[in-house]
Structure 1
């Protein structure tokens, strides 16, 4: 479907195209001009008879630009075939994955595009969740593969570490103490609300176990705050 913006851009493009020529006989779309080539070339000066510049310019949109300009590559995909380049990138990739605690056994998925987009993917320890990070080079910037890898891995880590909020009747794991991880279902009860508020709800047992220390500290701080509020209320 062609929308209004596309139609306007087409008109602006025709206007810009027409202004590039001094001789209408060289125009690639002269047959679609409402003034015949004979009239344009034999009876009137070209500068005053051109058809397309007479069309109104739409100021709220630009014109189409050369597709070759739009598709100028920012990254030479062939670099991936270089052993030295792969070793360089894999080293950065593994270091960043380890820094953010991403599952190292799946830290081997990198996809590149010539337009400067990097996509990394990690598979959770339950083999059910994929954590994806994407970094896209701005059209006005030069492509830097090292920065792109670091941003993509960081965003995958943010996806993995994002709080899990189970829906009603959805299963989750929570920390009871440093040695106990409970498996439960969200019934929207008070205990569930407290767990979710503390970030004490995890998709997998291993995630809950890995975050047990952090959750215990949160519980301790929350307990102290609630006790303080209770004492103030009694006063």
Structure 2
């Protein structure tokens, strides 16, 4: 239904189009509707209590959800780490803290990044607060942590000098990637992980992949 506001905006939109368009009247897209003297739309009175349809198309500014100056406080950062431990039900040691970054921006986006020994992000999680919702930092931290942990469980694609763990014959083994054949083989088998605990979770599937590769090699050697 076309209400009063929409009708007023139509008038303002036509006036704006007529006065700002570089087209001549002969090239105007709505000239057939302009049955009065030239530039009739441009000479219409503007209605001040509404804008134009263009104003409706412009995206509204994101509402501010969080005071970023709080991050300058050491006490607040201590609170963030304590909150992360609470939502993950774990104790985060000094080593992990040195390789993790937590951030909250003014729009209510919570970000958690886990970095490896070279400073490259290997697991990322974030949570965005909807513009219409009330920002809850604990909820944001929980969602971001869950997403980061899901990425943490995935296998890595290590680059040169990256630290990673792979499942060896007798358990997880730590290694620094040197882009050698062994590293590429582990990468192809998805046998590169952030930590030994995650590597152990994939022990069965890695063993199965190794057995398949050995079987393929054995079959190839028999055919030679």
| Structure 2 counterpart SS, 1:70 | coil
Q: Cα offset for 1:63?
A: 2.7
C-alpha change, 1:109 and 1:219, in structure 2 (3 Å) is closer
CA distance in 2 between partners of 1:64 and 1:144 (Å): 31
* Structure 1 segments unaligned to the other structure (5+ residues): 1-14, 35-48, 55-61, 227-235
Is the contact between residue 83 and residue 141 of structure 2 (CA under 8 Å) also seen in structure 1?
yes
| CA distances 1:49-86 after superposition (whole Å, capped 9, x unpaired) | 653889xxxxxxx6335989524312233555678765
- Stretches of structure 2 lacking an aligned partner (at least 5 in a row): 1-7, 23-39, 46-52, 214-224
Task: State the 1:175 CA deviation.
Answer: 1.8
Q: Secondary structure at the match of 2:102?
A: strand
Q: 1:178 to 1:118 in 2, by over 3 A?
A: same
**Which residue number in structure 2 is paired with residue 145 of structure 1?**
137
Q: Which residue of 1 aligns with 2:196?
A: 209
Residue aligned with 1:16, SS: helix
Partner of 1:200: 191
SS of residue in 2 equivalent to 1:175 = strand
Q: Which of 105, 112, 115 in structure 2 is aligned with 1:113? A: 105
Q: CA deviation at 1:136?
A: 1.5
Aligned residues: 179
1:8-47 equivalent positions in 2, closer than 5 A:
16=9, 19=12
Q: Secondary structure of the equivalent of 1:89? A: helix
Equivalent positions of 1:112-191 (< 5 A) are 112-124=104-116, 126-130=117-121, 131-165=123-157, 174-179=166-171, 181=173
Who is 1:76 aligned against?
A: 67
Q: For 1:214 and 1:157, locate their aligned partners in 2 and report how far apart those are by CA, in whole Å.
A: 14
Tell me by how many angstroms 1:120 deviates: 2.5
Q: What is the aligned partner in structure 1 of residue 31 from structure 2?
A: none
TM-score, scaled to structure 1? 0.49
Q: 1:76 to 1:51 in 2, by over 3 A?
A: same
